[in-house]
Structure 1
Amino acid sequence: MKKMMKKLIAMAAALVMIVTLLPAVGVNAATGTTFPSGNGKITIDSEGGKYSVYQIATVAQTSTNGVKLEYTPTTPFTQNDVNDILAAGAEEGGNPAALQELLNGYLTTKIPTAKKVADLNNVEYGLYMIVEDEAPQDYLKASPSVVMVPQFDNGVWNNEVTVTPKHAKNDFTKIVNDNVNDTVSAGDEITYTISGTMPWLKDAEAEADDAHITITDTLTGDLSFVEPNTIVEFKYDPAENGTTPNTAITEYTPTVSGNVLTIEIKDEATLKAIRGKKFTLTYKVKVADNITPGEVGKNKASLDSNGGGNPGDTPEIPVYSFAIKVTKKGEGTERLQGVKFELYRETGDGSSLSEDDTKLYDLITGTGGVVTTKGLEKGTYWLKEIETVNGYTLLANPIKIELIEGENGTLTFKVDNATDASLGTNNIAEVEITNNKGFSLPETGGMGTYLFTIGGIVIMAGAAFALIAMKKRA
């Protein structure tokens, strides 16, 4: 009897090994060395994930002392499949990697026609394969696992089993100019950065004819790749990947076809060297010279391999652009056409227009006194009036315009340090400027200065002659 109980314990330990390869398992206890009466229950402890459970085999005790177990495969699984699973999952002499490879293979060869469990609260005793159909947000799918119901624990068989899948965090991300989104100016070159962890390809997968790890990026809108043949560098982080430098791949030349960039790695040695490694790659994209306000473009990257556990796509990364619409008003309803401005981008301290600020455009108001400048990113701008229409006063000071990026690329703006920001219309800052009729002061050193000087001298001389004449009469 002691011998038989040792066998039972060893067999139970093997089954525990099977279910603990990937998930963490908890149980509710029944009593005795024989199976509890009735059926079992499987609880999957995972917030947000979606799962399917498939029956591999039924299990029954064939002796009253509960020592001998008999497995009956469920179509399409065979007795050999059951034996392979038990052997690979055994506590001693087992092979966890082989078990995982078996289960991954069943995903395509067995699961499509396997018996799916409809009610996890009422399952026959047996072996079951748990497949995650959809991972919780920001996580990768857990690898398939196998569980037996009931389970032997602390000397008793337990018919209620709780499985907690182990998920890997999905760290596949993409940013633009160090942000999750950004604003851009017409003609800009912007930098995209993709980072994550390379899929882990097993030896057989890396050696397969269709072996590959592929990164794809597709641009939309007014964006294009800079110098399609530019090398994209993979920069490995020693803090993440160990102290030994990874020399198998430090740079890779992408293929660019239209708006799609592809990096495909097929070499067996390289695939084995980079699997599971964290990586970062960067490349440049050009913004078109003529863009409209709003979303200039958005794109996402995808990472795929012939193995399992692929992270899929990054979130879409948008870039936005703004515009300034100036309406020049005169007295009453008059709109001033032909008024000239210079637009500067602030590069100084923002307190006033300085020679350090960058001149962007010469502007002139058209019909309705309107001029619009497109292709502007967030920041501070100065609008300097340099010529107005006859009869109106030239603005004494430049106008300060702050373009502020809000949530999802929305625009708010301030004019001349206003306390409250105004909301842009379709990503356009609408600025109204009113000129008054009157006298414009001349520029220092201009012809007007000389005229004023001569006029002053004439008046002073006339006053002096008048004073002398009055004295003579007296």
Structure 2
Amino acid sequence: MTTTTRTRTRRVSAAALAGAVLLAVGLGTAAVAAPVIEEGTVGSLTVHKFQAPDTLPDLPNDGSEITEPIDALPLAGAQFTIYEVEGIDLTENQGWQDAAALEGTFDPATVLPGSVPATAGAYTLTQVGQQTTSATGVAAFTGLPIALYLVVESSTPTGFTPVPSFMVTVPLTLTAEGATEQAWEYDVHVYPKNPSFTATKTVADAIDQEDAVVGDQIVYTVTGDIPAQGLDAYRIADTLATQLTYAPDDTQSDIVLSVSGSAGETLTFGTDYTVAVAGQTLTVDLTAAGLATVAEAKSLDATAQVVMALTVTVNAPGEISNTANVFPSAAAIANVIPTVTPAVVSKWGSVAIAKTSSDTTITALGGATFEVYYTTGSEWDGDPDTATQVDVNGVTTWTTTATGTVTIGALRYSDWANGAEVPAGADDFRQYWLVETVALAGHELLAEPVGFLIEDLDETTTTPTVAPAPIVNVPSNAGFELPFTGGIGTVWFTVAGVLLLGGATLLVVRQRRRTQA
């Protein structure tokens, strides 16, 4: 509890005038105490914190205590800090006039918990108390001097949107039930309600590749609620894992921001939102125009949400866990109190090829070239029209080194897609295939594709590298030599040539003899 006392020597001599000023300030009317402020009187401020229901009940908000049951759950753990506005004396009529004048020049809703100003207009703000709501949602400040106070929700439980800062006077004039006259109420009650806030994230790494060769892209979708009140800022921040790459362009085309619902629409980069990239962190902020569009969509459809689709590229294998931070208000941004989405996981590995020759005397194993395809089924005849070719960061062929090895990745797990396990044969399952397009020098191509799976069977590593059995090339013609000019073939050609020449000579001799005869 915070207790402060102060003695006031001045009295208010014209309660009617004070009441008129209260109306000008916008405070409620009614009463339960003497019509003048008594010397040395102190008051209290009790904050009753509730989760905002879907439909806000029509209850009084004039500073009186609500004795009827409230159809809302109390919210524990919300911290409130109050600041006295020094220099405004509410024991005098002039003080109330000063408060009314301040209302016209100072908007408390612009005060953020992390950056409370030193002054409100020409008046000093002095912190006089800080309380956290109990299990019943109550934070009570007692022993308060007569004054005008700024109330700031300085900390908000996760999953809720802080209420905007507000001003309240202690005391207020109220009219008790059944009474005909107003009087001062020194024990003021306020009932700020925090709307709950949810944000989700999904991952799509089983991208439709019928029309494009894309093997390493991920699309994250972040969805966040829209506060029904106090929409003064909205931010989505996403810090990518090191295995992911975001490649910004002039239009940030890999980020698409929209608002869902019956009045949903795609927002425009630069007009409705901005994008800042710092290292692996992407920050998307709605502009004033974007906030207006989102607020209108919410007013037309209570289910409307902000949706961000982010496309990134996988640059290395790994089990990649990712969350996003959604800040639905300026206060949440200033105090770094995000709503964190549940984590989503994308799993990627690689395949290590070991190329050999059936002729163990051959050590030159470089130059064999492979492509990778995938199917959903466990059989494939090698027809490229019935499978999907894999592209890893623009690379579609891989060539073995001099030692016959090459590692290909990142490749998405065969049995994991869109953040969940998938069974063999499902549409998102991947049966991978190696297709040799260039064999080792002096060797035959592989006659059929070599199948393999990317999976972590024993779940002992987050970056599995599959190593199929060594891929063996055999020498041309299975090692058998074909006949060719030179060697033993030359002998037979020579013999045949001699015989042909001999035969021709005999024919010539015989022809001459016949002529002479």
Query: TM-score, normalized by length of structure 1?
Result: 0.50
Who wins on radius of gyration, i.e. which is larger?
Answer: 2
TM-score (norm 2): 0.46
